[in-house]
Structure 1
Amino acid sequence: MYVKGKNVIEFFKWYDSKEDRETSPWREFCEELLTTKILPGWEFRYIDYKFKKTIKTPIIDLNMKGKGMFVYDV
């Protein structure tokens, strides 16, 4: 997503609060792996998962001009 530089700090405050945003790994697991039939739904209808950490990359120059970074919840 694109966020103007003047809004980055507020964006990360909101992102880190996890308020009013999708935070369920189960939804992503289903959407990306089960509904696409990459994995069989019956065998993976229940999964256990545990949040480990958030990784934020350093700020980099993007190919499409401007600066950017990646944020991963593991």
Structure 2
Amino acid sequence: MRILADVDKLKYARLKAGLSVKELAKRVDVNETYLSSILNAKRGTSVQTASKIAKAVNESYLNLFSIHIEQKQKEVI
């Protein structure tokens, strides 16, 4: 399971809250580089971190992130 950011919605919410990536990282208590990779959907995150990000920008994490369930393919012999 991967939790990925909706890049456009999250950027809009961050800017609406008046936060830079650096300020948001500080509020969420994560490394700025790590946060940037989450914000650009290059990396998934945990529900806990997604919730912290959403709270910092005054949004529901369900509006800003989507859950992707990856299924392993079975080998056919």
Question: Which TM-score bucket, shorter chain as reference?
Answer: under 0.3
| TM-score computed with the length of structure 1 as normaliser | 0.22
Structure with greater helix percent: 2
